[in-house]
Chains A and B, each alone.
Chain A
Amino acid sequence: MRDPLTVAVVLIVAITIFDAPTPSPAQTPAPSDAKPAPAQGKTASIDAKAGEQLFATTCGFCHQGGGRVAGRGPKLAGTERPDAYLLERIRTGKQGAMPAYGGAFSEAQMRALIAYIRSLKDEPQ
């Protein structure tokens, strides 16, 4: 049963992870908004965890195996595309192939997705 308390906690965590500009009391440091480069260390792992959940919410429909293998969409694990390219693709999409998420996801959410993609092991299919 999804009780209101659980929902509230999940929402607080989600908001903290994705939107808070500074580390919050909820012990879920937000990704830095200051630098466009991929997050590092502990922040990166938190980003990747948040990105993993968001990926399984929305992106896994096309990028199969959690982005580890090709399916409707291309394999993402081990991609050599730079962050700027990935960010732009998430933001603007590709006509007839991938939706544009720029109006739906925050910058922090998009960077969390990239952190998740970077965390994937590139294993042969």
Chain B
Amino acid sequence: MTRQRGAVYLAGLAMMMLATGACTTTSGSSTSSTSSGSASMMDPAGGDWTTYHGSYRSWHYSPLTEINSDNVKKLKVAWVHHPGRSTRGLQSMPLVADGVLYYTGSYSRVWALDAATGKPLWSYFPKLNEDLVAAQTHSPYTRGIALGMGKVYVGTVDGRLIALDMKTGQPAWDTKLVNSEKLTVGFTGAPLFVKDKVIIGSQGGEWPGRGPIFGVDAASGRKVWEFLTVAGTDEAMKTWGGESWKTGGGGGWMAGAYDPETNAVWWGTGNPAPLYDWAGAEWKTTGPRPGDNLYTTSIIGLDADTGKLKFYHQELPHDAWDFDSAVGEFVMLDRDGKKLVVHPNKGGHVFVYDRKDASVVNVWQLAKNINFVKGVDPKTGALIGRRDLALGKHTNLCPAIAGGMSWNSGAYSPKTGLYYKIGQEWCMDLEVIKTTPVLEPQAQLDLGANFTLRDPEGGKAHGHLSGRDPVTGAKKWEVMFPEPPLASLLATAGNLVFVPDSRGMLRAFNAETGQEVWAHNNGIGHNGGIISYAAKGKQYIAVATGWGSLVGDEFGALFGEPYKSMPKDSGAIVVFTLE
């Protein structure tokens, strides 16, 4: 396959190969079937990892088998790379194409390294508006990049999308998309390469803006389309009372996925602002943002070419709890003749949709401590027994603001048929307070409450990893963690699931049984990505280390050590292979 061929064809072929199992490689085979620098967003058939979620199917799965549950105990560090200036840790997902590992650190620093040795090939440090960065809350981490058409694409926290030449690191174009100087927010999530465009979503949520998602021409950097997640259509405008749409939040701050069969870009959107809504049960007609608040806390399908809305489902109408849908993974799989997509929501439920139109197929519960609703109708997705929060004090709201699941991704193995995902168990007390959004001279967070995290009633806050049927949620096995792991997971055809945990241990589990089979101490917590790839005939595992995300910042007060003393300005790429 060559870079000249169309991405859709390549992606479609990759999916067919996966469906037939043709992608599963023999151990250690180093191929370049994904073709370096091509626009393909293929599954890692040749041992590459060319897009944030590993493939358009969001499986976070490697078909490589050289490292497996029988020999994983021989896994050793092959090389380490420190990007420097790792404020809030290294939160990004590395990518690999044709023997080169690309990744970004805080402040959108981009590195290209020899994937077998870690030898630096080039680096690019964008000049940022440092005064703006200093004024940002959700900053300066950058969670990933995209590859395609011979370029590396990276968003910046000051609202730009930059393209770099894959071979040299020289900038090809630099496009300002968001007025971050006014709105304060920019880009921290990875872009998604689709056909001839780069898709990227702005931060939003509790930030009072309209949360745009952009489609940018990959060749020129020209903005082709923009979709506003807050009141982006006439239908949506009617779901915001008064002028609340002007400060509605939303956004799409994690990379989504792409379905070539419908030409739909699937994206999860952020919560509305203010976070908490003093209207209580009267939210349809009163309060700071009356109505359903479309398209916040929703999954949306956008036409990849035009950015037009094709379909959507709002997972939490009028989200009053900050349980947004911005989690980027859209696990695509086929079952019983149905083409499905599985999407976790921060509130702790997992939604299963039909890929043709986002109609709800099933909803199942992953987190155990949930009381913001009594349930979700598995046939329609409708919320049952909402706990809307009126002005004043409330106790034991579950899950806590950090969610029943966080933004990092789970993994799916087509070999075991299991979906591996972290659940988080914690609650909080809060007092809802009327607020007025601060918009001038620079927008500020709009919360509407003070809150304090706490243990669930009758137990300690904790996390868990489980292996489940992705469609029904049926649990095959579960492993408990004293604190929730906050990094992404990796499944491999070697019958392994890798979990980079919060204390700093990288752990491997038998994918069939959940038995722990290997662990290594990386010396600092994990809050980023993990991939597997092949280079020069060997299989590697690469993980981002470093601590200090906004969720991780809760751990010191909630769990004590080692988090109270854990550095928040360090991080590295640590790469493993068999000795």
Contact surface of A with B, Cβ cutoff 8 Å = 1-4, 7, 10-11, 14, 52-58, 60-62, 64-73, 92-93, 95-97, 99-101, 103-105
With a cutoff of 8 Å between Cβ atoms, the chain A residues found around residue B168 in the complex are: none
B window 543-577: CB within 8 A of A: 548, 550, 553-554, 556-557, 568-569
Cα A71 to Cα B461 with chains together (Å): 14
With a cutoff of 8 Å between Cβ atoms, the chain A residues found around residue B449 in the complex are: 56, 60
Known: A2-B288, A53-B433. A64 touches B442 (CB 8 A): no
Indicate if B37 sits at the interface (CB-CB under 8 A).
no
Known: A55-B450, A96-B569, A99-B135. A1 touches B442 (CB 8 A): no
Closest 5 CB pairs of A and B: A66-B450, A72-B553, A56-B433, A57-B435, A96-B87
Q: Which of B242, B435, B554 contacts A3 (CB 8 A)?
A: B242
**CB closest chain-B residue, reference A62:** B553
Across the interface, do A1 and B285 meet the contact criterion of CB distance under 8 Å? yes
Q: Which of B436, B450, B451, B453 has the most CB of A within 10 A?
A: B450
**CB closest chain-A residue, reference B247:** A2
Q: Which of A4, A52, A93, A101 contacts B242 (CB 8 A)?
A: A4
**CB closest chain-A residue, reference B184:** A104
**CB closest chain-A residue, reference B431:** A66
Closest CB in chain A relative to B407 CB, distance in Å: 16
Give the number of residue pairs across the A-B interface with Cβ within 8 Å: 121
**CB closest chain-B residue, reference A13:** B436
Contact surface of B with A, Cβ cutoff 8 Å = 87-88, 131, 134-137, 140, 184, 206, 241-244, 274, 285-290, 429, 431, 433-438, 441-442, 444-453, 548, 550, 553-554, 556-557, 568-569
With a cutoff of 8 Å between Cβ atoms, the chain A residues found around residue B550 in the complex are: 72
Cα A54 to Cα B206 with chains together (Å): 14
With a cutoff of 8 Å between Cβ atoms, the chain A residues found around residue B569 in the complex are: 96
Closest CB in chain B relative to A74 CB, distance in Å: 9
Cα A27 to Cα B568 with chains together (Å): 46
With a cutoff of 8 Å between Cβ atoms, the chain B residues found around residue A70 in the complex are: 556-557
Q: Can you give 19 A-B contacts (C-beta < 8 A)? A: A1-B285, A1-B286, A2-B288, A14-B436, A54-B438, A56-B433, A56-B447, A57-B436, A57-B445, A57-B446, A61-B447, A65-B451, A67-B450, A71-B453, A93-B135, A96-B87, A100-B134, A100-B135, A103-B441
With a cutoff of 8 Å between Cβ atoms, the chain B residues found around residue A67 in the complex are: 450
- Identify 17 new A-B residue pairs, CB closer than 8 A, beyond the known A57-B447, A64-B557, A103-B441: A1-B241, A1-B286, A56-B449, A57-B435, A57-B438, A61-B445, A61-B447, A65-B452, A66-B450, A72-B554, A93-B134, A95-B134, A96-B88, A96-B140, A99-B136, A100-B131, A104-B444
